Amino acid sequence: MTSQGEHTTMNARTRTLIAAALVLGIASGPVVAHAASVPAPAGGTAGVSAPLVPAPPNAAVLERVIAGLGAEHKDATAALVRVGGTSGSWRGGSGVADIVTGRAAVEQGRFRAGSVTKTFTAAVVLQLAAEGRVDLDRPVRRYLPGTVPDAYGAVTVRQLLNHTSGIPAADGPGDSFEAQWEHRFDVTDPHDQLADALGKEPEFAPGSAQHYLNINYTLLGVLVEKVTGTSYEEAVGRRILRPLGLRQTSFPSRTQTTIPGPHNHGYQATVGADGSRELRDVTEWNSSDRWAAGDIISTTADLERFTKALFGGRVVPAAQLEEMFTVPAVKTFGSGKDATMTAGLSRIVLPDGTVAWGKSGGRHGYNTGIGATRDLSRTLVYSVNSTNAKGEDMNPVVLGVVMAAFAQ
C-alpha cells in the first residue's frame, strides 16, 4: 500500500556534506546558461523594513551547485533554477534534455511540478472563501454530503487545507518504484480514491495532529468542482492561470501520459540484471492518481511569476492569504515533531534562522520547488531531474540549490 504523500525530510549528514561542498567549492563542471546577478538595493528606507535577504544571489556558488549534471551524475541529469527577489536575481540551467542524444537541457522546458499543485488548489479554495462561497470552519460534509460519510462529519475545509483532517490515504499499487512503474499508465478516478480512504477509520481526531497526505487535496479538488460548477482544471485556469498569463502551465487530461511542448526527460536510477546502474526513462506517466494534489505541468518562469503574485497579494486577498502563513499548533502524526505545513505551503527555517515559505513536489524523474521569504527579498523556483525523485532524503542537488539561493 502507498501513503500517497511525499517525503520532505532531509538527512542531517547529507545536509552537512552539501554545506561543506558549497563552502569548499568542490563541485565542478560547466553550466549550460546563466544570467548574472543584479546588485542588491542599498538598504531599507525610512519606514520600510530592511529586506530579510539583503545580499544578491551568489552566482558562483549557484553555478557550482548545478554543474556537471548528466547521465553520469549520481543524483540528477538536469536542473533549471531561477533565483529572484528585490535583492537581485540569477537564472541558470545545466545537464541534458535526454541521455540518448546528450543535447543540452531545455532552459524553458516544461516539467511535472508534483505537489506544487497543492498551492494552486489552496489558492482557489481561499479565493472562494474570500467570496463567501466557502466557509473554512464549516464541515466539508455540508458541501459534499454524498461524498463525505458521517464518520468524517466534523472535518472542516480548513483542516483539509492544513492536513489536520485525520483522513487516511487511499490504497495504491505500493511504495516501491517497480510497483508504481507497473501501474504507470493506470487511469484513476478521484472519487474512487475518496471512497477508499473515507471507508477507513480516521487516523486521529480532526484538528489534533498533522499528516501530509494527498487525499486532503483530492477532496478539495472535488469541493472546488462542486462550489464552482465547473471542472477543477477550468477553475484553476479561469482564476489563476489565465489572469497571471501562465501560458506554459497546464493540467494533463485524465488519460494523458506525455508532457506537452519542449521538456527535459525524467529518469529513475535502477539496478540492471547484471547489478549495474541503469537510468530508466520515466517521462511518460499517467498522473491522474495525483490530480488536484499533484499533476500540474509548468515551467520555472511561470512558477516564479505565480510565486511573486501569490506572496504579493495578487492571487489571494490579504485576510485569506494569512492561512498560507499559519502553521497549526499541533504535532506531526507519527513523528511527534512540530507541524510545518500550512494551507498550500510549508514553513522552512534555514540554517541561519531566516524563515522562508514554500512548497516542494516530487514525481518520478522530477523534483520541483517554489519558495520565498515573505517580503519577497528572495524567491526561488527549481526543477531538478532527480534520479531518485521520490527518495526519502532530499536530493543533494536540490538541497544545494536551496542553501545557495537563500545564503547571506
**pLDDT tens per residue across span 189-200:** 999 999 999 999
Q: Looking at the predicted structure, is the pLDDT value of residue 11 above 50?
A: no
Neighbouring residues of 239: CB distance < 8 A, sequence distance ≥ 6: 123, 124, 127
pLDDT at site 15:
44
Strand partners, 124: none
pLDDT digits (tens, 9 = 90+) for 96-144: 999 999 999 999 999 999 999 999 999 999 999 999 999 999 999 999 9
The pLDDT value recorded for residue 49 is 80
| Res. 175 pLDDT band, cuts 50 70 90 | confident
The distance of Cα 9 from the centroid of its chain, to the nearest Å, equals: 14
Assign 35 to helix, strand or coil: strand
Q: Grid coordinates 472562494 are at which residue?
A: 128
- Round the average pLDDT of the chain to a whole number and report it: 90
With a cut of 70, say whether residue 313 has pLDDT above it. yes
pLDDT at 174: 87
Say how far apart CA 166 and CA 402 lie, in whole Å: 31
Q: What is the mean pLDDT of residues 74-93?
A: 97
3-state secondary structure 117-165: HHHHHHHHHHHHHHCCCCCCCCEHHHCCCCCCCHHHCCCEHHHHHCCCC
pLDDT for residue 297 is more than 70: yes
68-91: average pLDDT:
97
Q: What is the CA radius of gyration of the chain?
A: 21
Q: Is the pLDDT of residue 306 over 50?
A: yes
Q: From CA 256, how far away is CA 180, in angstroms rounded?
A: 17
At residue 48, the pLDDT reads 60
User: To the nearest whole percent, how much of the chain has pLDDT over 70?
Assistant: 88
Domains in the chain (CATH in brackets) are 12-41+50-406 (3.40.710.10)
**What Cα–Cα distance (Å) separates residue 384 from each residue in 54, 77, 289?**
26, 8, 22
DSSP 237: I
Does the structure show a pLDDT above 50 at 66? yes
**Which is catalytic among the residues 87, 89, 94, 115?**
115
Indicate if the pLDDT at residue 14 is higher than 60. no
pLDDT in tens, 18-61: 343 333 333 333 454 455 455 444 444 445 688 999 999 999 99
Residue 17 has pLDDT above 80, yes or no: no
Based on the residue annotation, tell me whether 165 is a catalytic residue of this protein. no
What digits encode the pLDDT tens for the residues 219-265? 999 999 999 999 999 999 999 999 999 999 999 999 999 999 999 99
DSSP lists the bridge partners of residue 281 as 267
pLDDT over 90 (residue 9)? no
Q: pLDDT by residue (tens digit) across 332-382? A: 999 999 999 999 999 999 888 999 999 999 999 999 999 999 999 999 999
Is 31 in contact with 92 (CB distance < 8 Å)? yes
